[in-house]
Amino acid sequence: MNSTADKPANLATAERLVRAAAADGAELIGLPEKWNLLGPPEEARAGAEPLDGPTLAAVAGWARELGVAILAGSIVEAAADGETRHNTSVLIASDGEQLAAYRKIHMFDVDVGGVSYRESEVEQAGEELVSTTCGIGAGELEVGLTICYDVRFPEPYRILAVRGACLFTVPAAFTMQTGEGHWEVLLRTRAIENQAFVLAPGQIGKAPPHYECWGHSMIIDPWGRILAEAEGGECFVAADLDLAEQERLRVELPNLANRRPGTYLWPEPMEART
């Protein structure tokens, strides 16, 4: 998607693409980071919604009508205290139930391409890793939820994999400046080292005030193969996940079972530079 601060237009685009993906046979459909509103900090704050607000109510309606599970990418969540904002990803079951909500842990406070990004000026970091079981067709899938910048930090993905996740979701608005060099590499690395599928729906194109997103939404298998990739423009891509092959891989090349966590001693914490 190429989301902007025009929330009604973004919802219309998302619904069109979700319906197209469902008609193509998709059973789990993912939307990008901040798919309902991507814009300046003041508009992001003003457009924040609670998790029972109109945006996620619309997604729940699509899920029930179409009989599909939907990862509602992420939205700017307005917390119950009326002040706190989070960048929150929600997984919605095919009956419209909210299965899990993950609040982005790693804030995108960086300087790239001559632009300063300070996500923490709008949103507060989450504190909890989140995974959940999601019914897909006749089966079930253990899903670990993450968002965009999280993909640069391997620790959450390993923990989610050890907890049983076989699919990671990475809705993103990856910058144009970092996307070419890092997007594919990071996603494939998280897949390979944890022998997990990765579902990474992304933003593409420009949005005010300074956003320019890389796109290239991807679905990656546990061997690190790219099963599907968006080439450009607003669209959906789809792939079949071979869960039996994943199970064979985890038995024959048992990365997770061969870990030696007792030998992994953490060094002294490094202070972040501001």
Catalytic option among 104, 123, 166, 213: 104
* Candidate list 148, 166, 184, 213, residue with the active-site label: 148
33 counts as catalytic: yes
Are 90 and 98 within 8 A, CB to CB?
yes
Task: Report whether 147 contacts 170 (CB < 8 A).
Answer: yes
148 as an active site residue: the answer is yes
The structure tokens 């798919």 sit at 35
Measured from the Cβ of residue 238, the count of other Cβ atoms closer than 10 Å reads 15
Q: How far apart are CA 90 and CA 26, in angstroms?
A: 18
Whether 206 sits among the annotated catalytic residues: the reply is no
| Residues carrying an active site annotation | 33, 104, 148
